[in-house]
Amino acid sequence: MATAAQLRWSGFTKHCSTNSNRQNLRGLNPTSPAVSFPVSNPQNHTIRLLRPKISKPELAFAGADGISGVAHGSGFGVSGGEAHANASSASSGLLFGILGLFLSGWRARVAADPQFPFKVLMEELVGVSACVLGDMASRPNFGLNELDFVFSTLVVGSILNFTLMYLLAPTASATSATLPAIFANCPTSHMFEPGAYTLLNRLGTLVYKGSIFAAVGFVAGLIGTALSNGLIKMRKMMDPTFETPNKPPPTLLNALTWAIHMGVSSNLRYQTLNGAEFLLAQTLPPLAFKTSVVVLRCLNNILGGMSFVILARLTGSQSVEAPKPVAGKEKLA
């Protein structure tokens, strides 16, 4: 008579035999109900080879970033998306880095001079308008025959006026600011900055700032002249009958003219203006001081607009073409 242990061993042997038969049936007949179980075990290579490959719906979004539409979610789509994301994050980081640097500089200037935002506003609204008026007043027929030149002055002047204000304004961390070795002992903001500076040191600031303004004027002149000439060409494309009253200014020559104007005329005028405003802020009440800022910046920009027209005529960057004679008058002559 079989013992309990023998009965258990017999049952275990039959169970193993049954499982072995099922494995053999799976290899011989792919349509057997045995293969209808969901393939959830990645170790079962036999079923993965015999079953047809069916793309999983949830993996159809592997190429949703527009780089790879492979349904099985290959690594190419992922790596492409990561590269795109890395490039976007790098450009965003550069943009935010520049913006953060500008905002930090703005806060430092406002901390040193609480009137700085008001001065910038007056410079852009009143100053640029006065500059355009001075430019037009220096041209024949009040510049109505040279509006293309006036527009170029408006574009470049708007860029440069803000740049001048920003670079000349004192900052709260002016003591930590450093200039190149040759100008190490010079004022960091403008030549009339308070401090125990010698005349030679103040003249050094005039030269250093003048070189910076000349470089900025050259770049802004390139941008402004190219922009105004591009708008004129666009106008001609839209209206073939349109003719400019003057020859468009050469981009390079006009940029050099702006560089000279910024390095000499604007440098002297704005440095003097900063010194005058510093003295007025110490003696005048707030309302009188703001009024003086408006008046001084109007006069400064009118003078700047007139001086640029004279310089542009001397360099030949803005030459006025002689009016064409009328055919009837030629016959009469």
Q: What is the mean pLDDT of the chain?
A: 74
What residues does each domain of the chain span?
Answer: 88-327
Mean pLDDT of 19-36: 46
Q: What is the pLDDT of residue 133?
A: 84
Classified as helix, coil or strand, 60 is: helix
- Between CA 54 and CA 190 the distance in angstroms is 74
Residue 124: pLDDT band by 50, 70, 90 thresholds? confident
Span 126-153, pLDDT tens digits: 878 888 888 888 787 887 877 777 887 7
Tokens describing residue 116: 């700085």
Q: What is the pLDDT of residue 194?
A: 87
Q: What is the pLDDT of residue 287?
A: 92
What is the DSSP secondary structure assignment for residue 263, as one 8-state letter? I
- Between CA 138 and CA 150 the distance in angstroms is 11
Query: Which range among 136-145, 200-209, 247-256 shows the weakest confidence by mean pLDDT?
Result: 136-145
Question: 50 pLDDT exceeds 70?
Answer: no
Tokens describing residue 327: 């055919």
- Between CA 179 and CA 208 the distance in angstroms is 9
What is the DSSP secondary structure assignment for residue 320, as one 8-state letter? P
Residue 329: pLDDT band by 50, 70, 90 thresholds? very low
Tokens describing residue 276: 């005058």
Taking Cα atoms as reference points, which of 28, 20, 46, 57 lies closest to residue 37? 46
Q: What is the pLDDT of residue 122?
A: 84
- Between CA 195 and CA 181 the distance in angstroms is 19
Q: What is the pLDDT of residue 11?
A: 57
Question: 170 pLDDT exceeds 70?
Answer: yes
Classified as helix, coil or strand, 192 is: coil
Question: 78 pLDDT exceeds 60?
Answer: no
Q: pTM of the prediction?
A: 0.59
Q: What is the pLDDT of residue 149?
A: 78
SS (H, E, C) 109-124: HHHHCCCHHHHHHHHH
Q: What is the pLDDT of residue 203?
A: 94
